[in-house]
C-alpha cells in the first residue's frame, strides 16, 4: 500500500511490543485523531517475550512527557489473523520485517513496510534515556509525514 493511500487499520510491529511499536501506536493514534482520520491502530511483537506486559516504564515516561499515553497498552504477539485484519503493517526494523515476511501469506506481503520507510527505528531497550527520546523524535516525524499523506490521499 503506498503511503498516500489511507489505510483503515494499521499494525505497528517490533520485537517484544514494549518499546518501539507501542510508542508508534500511541503517536500515530494521537496524530490521526487530531487530523480527524478514521484509522484504527494496534501494535504487536514478533516474539512472545512480554505478552500481557505493559510497555517498558521508560517508554511510558518519555511518551507521557510529550502527551502520549501508553500505560493502558499490553504486549501481544502477532498472529495469523493480523495479516488479514490490518491493511498496513509497519515494522520497526529489517529484522522484524523479515520475520513478518516469513509469517505473512504471499498474497498479503504488499501490506508490509518499514515504519520509517527506508531506515530502522533503533531499539532503545538496552539504551539510555536519550535513546527513548530519539525514538520519539523519529516516530513523531514519520507520523507527521504519514498523516499528511493520508489526509491528501482521501
Give me the active site residues, please: 14, 20, 123
Measure the CA–CA gap between 29 and 43, rounded to whole angstroms.
11
Beta strands in the chain (DSSP E): 9-14, 40-45, 88-91, 112-114
Grouping H, G, I as helix, E, B as strand and the rest as coil, residue 146 is helix
CB atoms within 10 A of CB 144: 13
Amino acid at each position: 500500500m503506498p503511503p498516500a493511500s489511507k489505510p483503515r487499520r494499521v499494525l505497528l510491529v517490533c520485537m517484544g511490543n514494549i518499546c518501539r511499536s507501542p510508542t508508534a501506536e500511541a503517536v500515530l493514534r494521537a496524530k490521526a485523531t487530531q487530523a480527524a482520520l478514521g484509522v484504527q491502530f494496534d501494535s504487536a511483537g514478533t516474539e512472545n517475550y512480554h505478552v500481557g506486559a505493559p510497555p517498558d516504564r521508560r517508554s511510558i515516561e518519555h511518551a507521557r512527557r510529550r502527551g502520549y499515553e501508553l500505560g493502558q497498552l499490553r504486549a501481544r504477539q502477532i498472529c495469523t489473523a493480523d495479516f488479514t485484519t490490518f491493511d498496513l503493517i509497519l515494522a520497526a526494523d529489517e529484522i522484524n520485517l523479515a520475520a513478518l515476511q516469513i509469517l505473512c501469506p504471499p498474497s498479503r506481503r504488499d501490506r508490509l513496510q518499514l515504519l520509517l520507510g527506508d531506515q530502522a527505528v533503533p531499539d532503545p531497550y538496552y539504551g539510555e534515556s536519550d535513546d527513548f527520546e530519539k525514538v520519539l523524535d523519529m516516530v513523531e516525524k514519520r507520523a507527521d509525514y504519514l498523516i499528511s499523506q493520508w489526509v491528501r490521499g482521501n
